[in-house]
């Protein structure tokens, strides 16, 4: 009886947790960095300022280390316009010392029971990549 009750509680928490999961969430064991090449003629200062300008439109900055080219946003619980305490996303960016490339990592987490499952949000990746490439990215010839 106790095992059955425990199993039912676990199944219910899985159903509740997955109900708030956007279709754009993909669970992953590890999250990979995406490397973007910066267009010619942009100096490190301009690259850094452009990246910050893009991120502050949707995120609060959590950790900013301009001297090392590292920044991380706070967790955003309302990506997509509606607050969800069981779903969150954030962005981490590394600007290369020479300003020729930037590395981007997006993280998404969905809460299932007491645990957070890690992954990525495909919409966030696509939107961020488009914004960055349109502002600082190297154009295809």
Domains in the chain and their CATH numbers?
2-135 (3.30.530.50)
Rounded to whole angstroms, the Cα distance separating 110 from 116 reads 5
**Secondary structure of the chain: what % helix, strand, coil (to 5)?**
30, 35, 35
For residue 69, give the nearest of 103, 41, 42 by alpha carbon. 103
pLDDT at 96 over 50: yes
- pLDDT tens digits for range 19-74: 568 899 999 999 999 999 999 999 999 999 999 999 999 999 999 999 999 999 99
Average pLDDT of every residue of the chain = 86
pTM of the model: 0.81
């Amino acid at each position: 009886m106790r095992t059955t009750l425990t199993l039912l509680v676990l199944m219910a928490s899985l159903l509740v947790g997955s109900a708030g999961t956007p279709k754009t969430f993909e669970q992953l064991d590890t999250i990979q960095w995406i490397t973007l090449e910066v267009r010619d003629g942009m100096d490190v200062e301009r690259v850094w300022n452009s990246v910050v300008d893009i991120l502050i439109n949707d995120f609060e900055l959590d950790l900013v280390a301009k001297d090392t080219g590292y920044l991380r946003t706070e967790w955003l619980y309302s990506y997509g316009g509606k607050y969800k305490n069981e779903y969150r996303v954030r962005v981490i960016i590394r600007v290369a010392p020479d300003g020729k490339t930037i590395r981007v990592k997006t993280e998404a987490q969905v809460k299932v029971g007491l645990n957070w499952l890690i992954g990525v949000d495909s919409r966030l990746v696509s939107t961020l990549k488009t914004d960055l490439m349109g502002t600082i990215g190297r154009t295809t010839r």
